[in-house]
Structure 1
Amino acid sequence: MSSSFAVRRLTEAPESVKFNEVVECFKDAFAEDDFARTLTGRKTDPYHHLNRSVVVSGFLSGEVYVVEEATKGKVIASAIWFPPNRELYEDTEKGKAVKPLMASLGPELDEWWCTRFLPEYAAFSEAEFGEGVKKEAWHLQWIGTRKSHRGRGLAAMLIDVIRDKKGDAKMCLEVENPENLGFYQKCGFETLNEEAHYFEGCKVHEKSGFPMWAMMSK
């Protein structure tokens, strides 16, 4: 596998060709994901800006890793990690990472993000991981593989790259798709609460909402 694919940290700046390739990789990976659909109201423009915002935040405050084809260099999988004491959408980056996303949502979804989802997500993290625990760990915010390359162990490679450098720090993540729980358990994570917390979506959008589990490395 190592001869066919290569893992590296993304160094190309936002809006570069390679950066945009990472955004497109995530858009392909999450095209049928209920979590992403709920956060964006199933709309194309917010969906693009959601994925872009996470990659921008990862570039500015975290670490973005990619798996590329060794021959063509195409990004086929990627992960956004935040090291201890860093997190998604920090105040210093909101103009670059968050503002374009919020501008694309529309009034109802914008209100849901600000008054429901973000506060509820923060409360969930504190309740499940414990106060300050998530901030002290390596947090896996976003990970995805293009549909054409799934089942080849690429996501595991993007977890191992942090496992090999984290030292004594823990790794943690949230899962919104129950089908992925088994994969993360095989990667050495354990579910902190077997019962999922369910997030209600914006009421103006039908079939919105998603479960969430918290997982921590053993």
Structure 2
Amino acid sequence: MQTNVPPSDTARAVGRATFAAAVAGTVLAPLHALSRYATADGAEDLEGPLVRAWAEPATDLVAPLLTWSDPDTVYLSYGKLWLPVLVVVTICAVLVRRRRAPDGLERWAWPIALTGYALATAALLGQYWTPWLDESFVFLGVPGLLASLAGSTLLGVALLRRGFRPRATGWLLALWLPAVVAISTVMALGAALLPMVWAWALASRSLDAERTVPAPVDAGPRH
């Protein structure tokens, strides 16, 4: 026997916060990329014709948002904003997982994906909120990205096979690897988080739905 459990206020709040985080991340991604191009380490990225085609006019358009301090400070400041985005998205993914009854491939994919998201979140904390930017990227960011990509790809396939709604979540996760390659070529690696972020923003709709769980079994009177 099963019963329907209405969504909690916490689940609804997380769902709304995740959607807001996706919108904020979409605005943040090009600003963060442009701020990187202004630094000594990121200047060489402008040598690519695809990057230069959009970055040069965009830099002129949003110049006040890029010149309010020195280039490194602007870059690190925008980088800090990725942390709350990924924290909210990771919480949303955890809540979606708690409402699932995973089986087969999905059961294996969830821990890989969630571990990757946790490592990526820790990497952002280290990169932009501590002095250990390079160390955090190497020891947390790279493993986190690889685990996130592998787990999300497997999870996306599993969710598509099991009919998860919305279908866009499964497709965005399953195709995240080629999206990372494409977005990194045109913009920056940080912006390549967006397909995953939007996958969970769309999935947050499921947090507003009733959850079906097994009802407790009445064992009868005890003597």
Please state which band the TM-score falls in when normalised by the shorter chain. Answer: under 0.3
Higher-helix-fraction structure: 2
TM-score (normalised: structure 2):
0.27
Larger relative contact order (C-alpha < 8 A, sep ≥ 6)? 2
Higher share in strand: 1
| Larger-Rg structure | 2
TM-score w.r.t. length of structure 1: 0.27
